[in-house]
Amino acid sequence: MSPAAILFDFDGTLIDSAPSILASFAAALQHTGLKAAVPLTPSLIGPPLLTTVGTLLGTDDEPTRQRFAAAFREQYDLAGYRHTVAYDGVPALLEGLHEAGIHLYIVTNKRIAPTRRILAHLRWEHWFRGVYALDALQPPAPNKKSLVRDVLQREALRAADTWMVGDSAEDQSSAEGNALRFFAACWGYGQALGDGPRSPLQLLTLATAQR
C-alpha cells in the first residue's frame, strides 16, 4: 500500500552535508587560528562532532575541542550551511510525493536552527508539513526513536500508513522500533544498509504506484 505520510531523515538522505561541514571546518580553523592535523576530507564526517574535532586537530584537550566546536557551529550557522547540496533527483521526489498528496515530515539529529536555514536556502519549506529535530522539543528528545514516536503522536499518524526513509542504522532501528516500514536511501549514505531504493525516482515510483 502507498503511504499516507513519509518521515525523512535529512543529512545523507535528502542532502549531502559534506561540502557545508568541510567549508565550516575550514572557516573555523581560520577563525580560531588552530591547525588541522589531518586533511579536510569527507572521511572525517560521521562520528559525533567532538570526536571529529579531536581527530581534525589531533588533540584530546577538552577546552580546545569545545572552543573549536563552538566556532564550527557559529561558522556553519552563519554561512557554511549554504554549501549544502541536494542529491540528484531529490527535488523531483519531494515534488512528486507532495503532488500525490503524501504528507512529508523531517526527523533529524541536526539542530533545528540550521535545518530550517537549509530548507529556506533550498526553498523546500512548502513540501513539509512538519520539521522535527531533537532540540526542537522541550525537553529535547533523547534519541531519534523517541523523536519519531513523538512525531507520530503530535501529527496523529498511523504507523501502518507511515514510511520512514533514512541512511543510518539508527534511522532503521527508529523506524522499526515504532512499527514503521523503513527504506534505506541507497543514493546517499545509506548504501551500507543493504537493499533499498537505488534512486529518488525509484522511491517515488514505490510510494505512488497504488495511488
Same domain, yes or no: 137 and 46: no
Question: Residue 192 — pLDDT band, cuts 50, 70, 90?
Answer: low
pLDDT of residue 191: 67
Same domain, yes or no: 67 and 104: no
22, 33 Cβ separation under 8 angstroms: no
Pick from 15-29, 108-122, 168-182, 186-200: least confident: 186-200
Please give the average per-residue pLDDT across 13-20, as a whole number: 94
Same domain, yes or no: 141 and 203: yes
**Predicted confidence (pLDDT) at residue 210 exceeds the cutoff of 80:** no
Number of folded domains that form the chain:
2
pLDDT of residue 43: 87
59-88 per-position pLDDT tens digit: 999 999 999 999 999 999 999 999 999 999
Same domain, yes or no: 195 and 116: yes
pLDDT of residue 180: 97
**Predicted confidence (pLDDT) at residue 48 exceeds the cutoff of 90:** no
209: left (phi over 0), alpha (psi -120 to 50) or beta: alpha
Same domain, yes or no: 76 and 90: no
Same domain, yes or no: 33 and 129: no
Q: Last residue of a domain, which of 83, 98, 125?
A: 83
122-177 per-position pLDDT tens digit: 999 999 999 999 999 999 999 999 999 999 999 999 999 999 999 999 999 999 99
C-alpha cell at 117: 536555514
Report d(CA 5, CA 141) in Å as an integer: 21
Place of cell 526542537: 136
Same domain, yes or no: 122 and 175: yes
Q: Which residues contact 50 (CB under 8 A, 6 or more apart)?
A: 65, 66, 69
Please give the average per-residue pLDDT across 43-52, as a whole number: 87
Domain that holds residue 12: 5-16+84-208
Same domain, yes or no: 112 and 201: yes
Pick from 28-32, 103-107, 191-195: least confident: 191-195
Report d(CA 23, CA 83) in Å as an integer: 7
pLDDT of residue 193: 76
Q: Last residue of a domain, which of 41, 67, 83?
A: 83
Same domain, yes or no: 190 and 94: yes
Beta bridge partners of 108: 133
pLDDT of residue 188: 81
**Predicted confidence (pLDDT) at residue 178 exceeds the cutoff of 70:** yes
Same domain, yes or no: 76 and 120: no
Which CATH number characterizes residue 202's domain?
3.40.50.1000
Same domain, yes or no: 99 and 165: yes
Q: Last residue of a domain, which of 29, 64, 83?
A: 83
pLDDT of residue 46: 77
pLDDT of residue 35: 96
**Mean pLDDT in the chain?**
94
Same domain, yes or no: 166 and 93: yes
